[in-house]
A and B are shown apart, each in its own frame.
Chain A
Amino acid sequence: DAGITQSPRYKITETGRQVTLMCHQTWSHSYMFWYRQDLGHGLRLIYYSAAADITDKGEVPDGYVVSRSKTENFPLTLESATRSQTSVYFCASSEFTSNEQFFGPGTRLTVL
Chain B
Amino acid sequence: TQLLEQSPQFLSIQEGENLTVYCNSSSVFSSLQWYRQEPGEGPVLLVTVVTGGEVKKLKRLTFQFGDARKDSSLHITAAQPGDTGLYLCAEGNQFYFGTGTSLTVIP
Measuring CB to CB, which residues of chain A are less than 8 angstroms from any residue of chain B?
Answer: 33, 35, 40-45, 48, 58-59, 90, 92, 94, 97-98, 100-101, 103-106
Q: Are A44 and B97 also in contact (CB < 8 A) when A90-B42, A98-B30 are? A: yes
- Across the two chains, which residue of chain B brings its CB closest to A40? B99
Question: What does the 1/0 interface line of B44-88 toward A look like (CB < 8 Å)?
Answer: 110010000000000000000000000000000000000000001
Partner of B43, one of A58, A97, A103: A103
Summarize B's interface: helix, strand, loop or mixed: loop
B residues at A contact (CB < 8 Å):
2, 4, 6, 9, 30-31, 33, 40-45, 48, 88, 90, 92-100
Q: Which residues of B contact A43 (CB under 8 A)?
A: 43, 88, 90, 97
Residue of A35, A42, A97, A104 near B100 (CB, 8 A) is A42
